Structure 1
Amino acid sequence: MADPIKILVGTMTGTAEMVAEDMQAAIEAETERETEILLMDDLDETVFDDVEAVYLIVTSTYGQGDVPDNALDFYEALEEKAPDLSGIRFGVFGLGDSTYADTFNHGGKRFEKVLRERGARQIGERFAHNASGGDLPEDAGVEWVRQWLGELNRSQEAA
């Protein structure tokens, strides 16, 4: 059985959760992987105790380049407690709006940075969806997650 995927969602308005649900449907339709969506509201660093899982961060950006309110405690726990996440694999799909050029997609960037600093291994490039770009975030999410799954599979074959 392929390693499960846990989709961790940071959202203010529900868009990131909607994207995560479409990603989950695509993953389950195209692979044998079990998936689980977890809103970041009540998460802490122990969510990474399952080292067999692969983690997909789906988060928006809020305010002045911050992570969404429901992700703030989780993000701060990763920063302050500095858990050893070596052995953890992750990907990041960020949502933002380029009309806020100075802080565009900083929610995704912040999670990418803190996870890498804690030793987690990133699979694929962080995707930065642009709300001003014209494409629907859920369509971009499904297209990206299909490519990301290919990179995940190649990384597992190489291991």
Structure 2
Amino acid sequence: MRTIALYGTESGRAEAIAETIARTFPDRDVEVVNMADAETGIFRPGILYLIVCATHGGGELPGFAQFLHDDLADLSPDLTGVTYAVFGLGDTGYVGKYNRGSHQFDELLTGLGATRVGPFGEHDESTHEDHVALGTQWVQAVFDATAP
């Protein structure tokens, strides 16, 4: 199955995860796409989307990720048959807003008919764990869950 790692970032951490996924799993031929360069038509059945999204500021999506999110919300395309997985980056120090950006994408995609597969991955900045290592472990679990 074709795989697209779609990332939304302010600091570059989500991009680092997406790029590492592509390098770590060359047999998956993962295409890495910045949400800043994505349009709503990118979502099609038959492709596995790896949504790697940070939370910015007080629980908002990164700037360009917000544009894609708003376009999807406004156009409301039917995403039935689209499969995706989510990995969020946030900080539990922001009570009530931890990983809110990734959860916003999850809620929107599900609401448009897409199906989330595999575990919902999360990185908490306050733990000082390696976000790239956690992202790589997460995607392995997603690939395992979606194996034929």
- Specify if TM > 0.5: yes
Structure 1 residue 34 displacement after superposition? 1.6
Structure 1 segment 16-31 matched on structure 2, within 5 A = 16-28=14-26
Structure 1 residue 133 displacement after superposition? 1.3
Q: What is the aligned counterpart of 2:35 among 27, 31, 40?
A: 40
Per-residue CA deviation, residues 72-91 of structure 1 (Å, 9 max, x unaligned), is 11000111111100000000
Letter in 1 for 2:51: I
Q: Which runs of 5+ in 1 are unaligned?
A: none
What residue in structure 2 maps to residue 101 of structure 1?
Answer: 95
Q: What is the aligned counterpart of 2:81 among 78, 81, 87?
A: 87
Structure 1 residue 125 displacement after superposition? 2.5
What residue in structure 1 maps to residue 13 of structure 2?
Answer: 15
Structure 1 residue 27 displacement after superposition? 2.1
Structure 1 residue 102 displacement after superposition? 1.6
C-alpha contact (below 8 Å) 2:119/2:141 kept by paired residues: no
Question: When you count helix as a share of all residues, which structure comes out higher?
Answer: 1
State, as a whole percentage, how many aligned pairs show the same letter.
31
What residue in structure 2 maps to residue 77 of structure 1?
Answer: 71
C-alpha contact (below 8 Å) 2:73/2:108 kept by paired residues: yes
Q: Which runs of 5+ in 2 are unaligned?
A: none
Letter in 2 for 1:130: D
Letter in 2 for 1:21: E
Letter in 2 for 1:27: F
Q: Which runs of 4+ in 1 moved over 6 A?
A: none
TM-score by length of 2: 0.95
C-alpha contact (below 8 Å) 1:90/1:122 kept by paired residues: yes
Letter in 2 for 1:99: G
Paired residue total: 148
Structure 1 residue 23 displacement after superposition? 1.5
